[in-house]
Structure 1
Amino acid sequence: MSVIYLAGGCFWGTEKYLASIRGVLATQVGYANGKTANPTYDDVCYRDTGHAETVHVEYDPSIIPLEFLLELFYSVIDPVSVNKQGGDSGIQYRTGIYYTDDADLPVIARSIAKLQNRYSQTIAIEVKPLDNFWPAEDYHQKYLDKNPQGYCHIRKEKFMNAAAARVDPSQYPVPNPGELARRLTGTQYDVTQNNATEPPFRNEFWNDFREGIYVDITTGEPLFISTDKFESGCGWPSFTKPVDPNVIKELTDTSHGMHRTEVRSRVGNAHLGHVFPDGPEASGGMRYCINSAALRFIPKEEMALQGYGDFLELL
């Protein structure tokens, strides 16, 4: 078990979100790195104690490594906002990562540096050793479990994404453009980098239903599992859902006089295809229509050898 303390605005929603993540073992809300001992909620809000609303997180690093946990944390905060998250303002709502093990600092620093590369504004997340932590009053603990309709600044779909998160993006580095141009075929490059579409019924995986996993051809990041593949009749590989909802980015596509939802890979930002609301109703009603050229298939018997053994339980 490992421990980290995360401040992400109102701790009601932050705690519920973090507790939803696979590999998080226990959570407790409280007040961290302030100037006074045993503060009350009123003290923190109205008496300038300097505490941050914070969640004590106990987690299993063999399931959810710290860098992966931090990536999921970033998805429910505005990392460049100072003393404000959602509709809540004040120093108690600042964002922070507070550590108790010095060995965590290089991981945190590397994670923050990667996050900074995505923003032009300076990252406002406070990174400090934990100086103090005082558990909040009992009525704050597991607040949203006790009050399902209670106030929360985090959208509901974020909780579902947290619960389904199982792909660590830090494990799949992005190749440089030159390497991609050398390694990919012309069709693979045009599809993933130039938003091309390969012909229906004349592509590698449209009628292949072997057991295994489909990964991003550019990075190797897992995208789809064969148990979610179905015959849609469209001539391209079709899936009811991604292996982890966080690995897919959805964008509005108005090209060719149509209004569609494009899907791209998270880490590689590769064009994959489109998603349509005409899939099997019993499986959620969605159809992820994906170009074979955007995928690499690893059969079940090779998954462990190629580093995808954690996904065998899904087959």
Structure 2
Amino acid sequence: MQTFVLAGGCFWCLDAVYRTLNGVSDVVSGYTGGTVANPSYELVCTGTTNHAEAVAVTFDETVIPADIILDAFFTLHDPRQLNRQGADIGTQYRSAMFYSDDEQKAVFEAAIARADDIWGGGVVTTLEPLGEFYRAEEYHQDFFAKNPGQGYCLAVALPKVNKVRKAFGEYVRAA
């Protein structure tokens, strides 16, 4: 099992996408990359802590390759938008990959290079060393499944889930 910590806008979208993929055993929404211990959602939203909304994705590489996890990441958000995704604006919504060691950093660098080719350049995704990862409040965990009729889920998360399902259909869990 391996865990990647990734940030690409609101963590609800990343959480929703990764929960649909075979081989993913756990997805935890949380905060990392900041300067305040045990931050709350409200504090992170102020943009003063430097935390990113992120997910810790744990997966089995014998079922789903690491490259697919990372290519899905670059499919579900626009890595060319600095400190934002759509209407979500601020450093907490940055595109970032948090590496735990040099091997993971190299894997992430290769994924960024692939994404830069696919997106035609301009990828602003940062590579940051993984510091403390703080689990977000319980209501953020599996938010999409708990709130399928919520406006943000319908307008923003669902199209991202569908885009990844289409692009990586062979890795999508049976309904």
Contact 1:21 1:165 in 2 (8 A): no
Higher-RCO chain (CA-CA 8 Å, sequence separation at least 6): 2
- The aligned counterpart of 1:68 is 68
Q: Count residues in correspondence.
A: 167
Pairwise CA distance, 1:104: 1.5
* Residue identity in the other structure for 2:8: G
**Within 2, Cα distance between the matches of 1:121 and 1:109?**
14
Contact 2:76 2:164 in 1 (8 A): no
Pairwise CA distance, 1:18: 1.1
- The aligned counterpart of 2:19 is 19
Pairwise CA distance, 1:102: 2.4
- The aligned counterpart of 1:229 is none
**Within 1, Cα distance between the matches of 2:65 and 2:99?**
14
Higher Cα radius of gyration? 1
- The aligned counterpart of 2:125 is 125
Give the 4+ runs in structure 1 shifted more than 4 A: none
**Within 2, Cα distance between the matches of 1:86 and 1:161?**
21
- The aligned counterpart of 1:135 is 135
Pairwise CA distance, 1:117: 2.1
Q: 1:47 to 1:94 in 2, by over 3 A?
A: closer
- The aligned counterpart of 1:165 is 170
**Within 2, Cα distance between the matches of 1:157 and 1:27?**
18
Pairwise CA distance, 1:130: 0.5
- The aligned counterpart of 1:195 is none
SS at 2:14 equivalent: helix
For structure 1, which runs of at least 5 residues remain unmatched after alignment? 167-243, 245-315
- The aligned counterpart of 1:49 is 49
Pairwise CA distance, 1:29: 0.2
Q: 1:121 to 1:103 in 2, by over 3 A?
A: closer
* Residue identity in the other structure for 2:31: Y
**Within 2, Cα distance between the matches of 1:39 and 1:67?**
31
SS at 1:165 equivalent: helix
Alignment of 1:1-315 (within 5 A): 1-46=1-46, 48-150=48-150, 151-152=152-153, 153-154=156-157, 155=159, 156-158=161-163, 160-161=165-166, 164-166=169-171
Contact 1:22 1:164 in 2 (8 A): no
TM-score for the superposition, normalised by structure 2: 0.87
- The aligned counterpart of 1:247 is none
Contact 2:15 2:29 in 1 (8 A): yes
- The aligned counterpart of 1:191 is none
TM-score for the superposition, normalised by structure 1: 0.50
Pairwise CA distance, 1:165: 3.4
* Residue identity in the other structure for 1:160: R
**Within 2, Cα distance between the matches of 1:122 and 1:75?**
15
SS at 1:122 equivalent: coil
Q: 1:115 to 1:19 in 2, by over 3 A?
A: same
Q: Which structure has greater helix proportion?
A: 2
Q: 1:58 to 1:165 in 2, by over 3 A?
A: same
Contact 2:47 2:90 in 1 (8 A): no
**Within 1, Cα distance between the matches of 2:84 and 2:76?**
13
**Within 2, Cα distance between the matches of 1:164 and 1:53?**
26
Of all paired residues, the percent bearing the same amino acid is: 37
For structure 2, which runs of at least 5 residues remain unmatched after alignment? none
Q: 1:21 to 1:114 in 2, by over 3 A?
A: same
Contact 1:4 1:58 in 2 (8 A): yes
